[in-house]
Amino acid sequence: MHIVFAASECVPFAKTGGLADVVGTLPPALVRLGHRVTTYVPYYRSVARNLPDLPVVIESLTIPFPSYQRYVRVLDGGLQEGVQVYFFDCPEMFDRESLYGTPSGDYVDNWERFALYSRAVIETSKILGIPDVFHANDWQAALVAIYLRSLYFFDPVLRKVPCVLTVHNAGYQGWFPADTMPRLMLPWEMFTFDKLEAFDNVNLLKGGLVYADALTTVSKHYATEIQTQEFGNGLEDIFARRSDDLYGILNGVDYEEWDPSRDTHIAAHYSADDLEGKQECRRDLLHAFDLHGVKETTAILGVVSRFATQKGFDMLAGILPELVKDDVVLLCLGTGEEYYERLMTELAGRFPDKVRVQIKYDNTIAHKIEAGSDIFLMPSRYEPSGLNQMYSLRYGTVPVVRSTGGLEDTITELHEGEGNGFKFHGYNQWDFLDAIRRALATFQNKPQWEAMMARGMAEDFSWEKPAAEYVEVYQKVIERRSWS
């Protein structure tokens, strides 16, 4: 089967979060199962910097807008682990400092950037190979599903091609003013509450949920959560309405990239059988954060995260004055919303011997934190899947998480010699502190702690199983659409 992946991020080319990991590592797993995959990625400035001279496959693809046209050059990114990658070069849309915006807000023309992207996916596929199924991801590619059933409705070939939409995060929906409808070349008939309209605005994710042939999200627990008011972000009724077509498939992990026995970013290799290298990684991590004189018995708490409300930094900030009284240091890597960047910088300033923060995106430091920390913190408000807790397990870095979404599906609380981590339930900072303190108490008991590390390191979240689950979904929608 030929699958076209449409997404705004993909490792190793462009990444702000876990979406990129999934889009870069699920397709190779599908290839290993015998399928053909093509992935289309915007030629962002950061991509162009790393890959400046790519062969041109299509010189000038015309993408019409109501009173003007834009032009896209399609570049050949070659085969990446068997996956054919193409880039869309349109400098006025993608040659910018960031993927989506600056710390103070999103680019206002994101509707146009991702409409151009989505139409280019469809148009390029018509030239380079119509797939058996499109797999669109998040609001940025939701227009693939929407356009297929509107602008392209009468296309005799495309009408037989289904589109699966994966929701990696229902908190990001692509909201734009109502007058975006004609700019997107969509008819006003689609601007109704049961389609793209929400509170008098255009909601692209909502449109995708309505028009995609099947929906998936990235854990079983999140698939049920988003059907409730608390987690649905206003889309709970659509998720519930489409529950027969909604599948929860937990993200996989690329252990080629995230495994301490072969990780190329860390100071020393180690495994469950030989943990010695972890001490070296710990020293190297402290050095990377310029912290000296930390005792071996002090627990290192690590955080790697986008700075967004979703991730629970308000709770972390709330408990820090209390937490620093314990024998811990906190090392935090992240970027994102200005508010959290300031908050974390201030806290690091208040507790310089205990808290260090690096405000940047840095893959090497992310790996060093996974390897060199003892405990990894993820107090998320909600977490569709979460990858860092699964990475942490493999690095013997015990996760403390809030039991939501994929965190609930992957982490089990220590109980009678079983369990791989520590969990708390309500969104309550004292429950969070309590969970950290349970972890710290166990950390003092070396044999118990090492047994726990070993259980985590033995967990296997590789892509094989989830990739096969995606294939089942593809087969279902292909069969269904063949009747249309």
Instruction: Tell me how many helices (H) and strands (E) the chain has.
Output: 18, 20
CA–CA dist 96, 78 (Å, integer): 23
Say how many residues touch ligand ADP, by CB under 6 A.
Answer: 18
User: With respect to ligand ADP, which residue has the nearer C-beta, 380 or 442?
Assistant: 380
Q: Which of residues 19-38 bind ligand GLC (CB under 6 A)?
A: 19, 22
In the complex, what is the shortest distance from the CB of residue 217 to ligand GLC, in angstroms, rounded to a whole number? 8
Q: Is 306 in the site for ligand ADP (CB under 6 A)?
A: yes
User: With respect to ligand GLC, which residue has the nearer C-beta, 103 or 182?
Assistant: 103
Which token pair is 153? 């409705």
The interface partner of residue 233, options being ligand GLC, ligand ADP, none and the CB cut-off 5 to 8 Å by kind, is none
Q: Is 232 in the site for ligand GLC (CB under 6 A)?
A: no
The stretches of 76-137 forming alpha helices (DSSP H) are: 91-94, 110-128
Which token pair is 455? 């259980």
DSSP 335-391: EE-HHHHHHHHHHHHHSTTTEEEEES--HHHHHHHHHH-SEEEE--S--SS-SHHHH
User: With respect to ligand ADP, which residue has the nearer C-beta, 69 or 104?
Assistant: 104
Range in contact with ligand GLC (rule: CB under 6 A) among 75-83, 230-238, 345-353, 385-393: 385-393
Over the window 422 to 441, marking each residue x when it contacts ligand ADP by CB under 6 A and - when it does not, the resulting string is --------------------
The interface partner of residue 366, options being ligand ADP, ligand GLC, none and the CB cut-off 5 to 8 Å by kind, is ligand ADP
CA–CA dist 174, 206 (Å, integer): 9
Say how many residues touch ligand GLC, by CB under 6 A.
Answer: 14
In the complex, what is the shortest distance from the CB of residue 462 to ligand ADP, in angstroms, rounded to a whole number? 16
Over the window 362 to 401, marking each residue x when it contacts ligand ADP by CB under 6 A and - when it does not, the resulting string is xx--x------------------xxxx-------------
Residue of 469, 257, 305 whose CA lies nearest to 402: 305
Q: Is 17 in the site for ligand GLC (CB under 6 A)?
A: yes
The sign of the dihedral angle between the CA atoms of 395, 397, 398, 404 is negative
Member of 84, 251, 403, 442 binding ligand GLC (CB under 6 A): 251
Q: Is 259 in the site for ligand ADP (CB under 6 A)?
A: no
Q: Which of residues 130-159 bind ligand ADP (CB under 6 A)?
A: none
Q: Which of residues 15-44 bind ligand ADP (CB under 6 A)?
A: 17-19, 21
Q: Which of residues 324-363 bind ligand ADP (CB under 6 A)?
A: 333-335, 361-363
Q: Is 309 in the site for ligand ADP (CB under 6 A)?
A: no
Cβ within 8 Å of residue 350, ≥6 positions away: none
Place of tokens 């390191």: 457
| Nearest residue to ligand ADP on Cβ basis | 18
CA–CA dist 79, 259 (Å, integer): 24
User: With respect to ligand GLC, which residue has the nearer C-beta, 125 or 305?
Assistant: 305
Strands 56-65 and 68-80: antiparallel
Q: Which of residues 208-247 bind ligand ADP (CB under 6 A)?
A: none
Member of 208, 336, 384, 466 binding ligand GLC (CB under 6 A): 384
The interface partner of residue 403, options being ligand GLC, ligand ADP, none and the CB cut-off 5 to 8 Å by kind, is none
Q: Is 218 in the site for ligand GLC (CB under 6 A)?
A: yes
CA–CA dist 412, 6 (Å, integer): 33
Q: 68: helix, coil or strand? A: strand
In the complex, what is the shortest distance from the CB of residue 168 to ligand GLC, in angstroms, rounded to a whole number? 3
User: With respect to ligand GLC, which residue has the nearer C-beta, 248 or 386?
Assistant: 386
Member of 385, 389, 403, 404 binding ligand GLC (CB under 6 A): 385
Q: Is 85 exposed, middle or buried (0-12, 13-18, 19+ CB in 10 A)?
A: buried
User: With respect to ligand ADP, which residue has the nearer C-beta, 335 or 448?
Assistant: 335
Cβ within 8 Å of residue 211, ≥6 positions away: 145, 146, 148, 149, 150, 163
**Partners of residue 65 on adjacent β-strands:** 68
Q: Is 136 in the site for ligand GLC (CB under 6 A)?
A: no
Q: Is the Cβ–Cβ distance between 36 and 4 less than 8 Å?
A: no
Residue of 141, 169, 457 whose CA lies nearest to 311: 169
Instruction: Name the E strands within 33-111.
Output: 36-42, 56-65, 68-80, 83-89, 101-102, 105-106
CA–CA dist 140, 137 (Å, integer): 7
Where does this chain bind ligand ADP (CB under 6 A)?
17-19, 21, 304-306, 333-335, 361-363, 366, 385-388
Which residues here bind ligand GLC, judged by CB under 6 A? 17-19, 22, 168-169, 218, 251, 383-387, 406
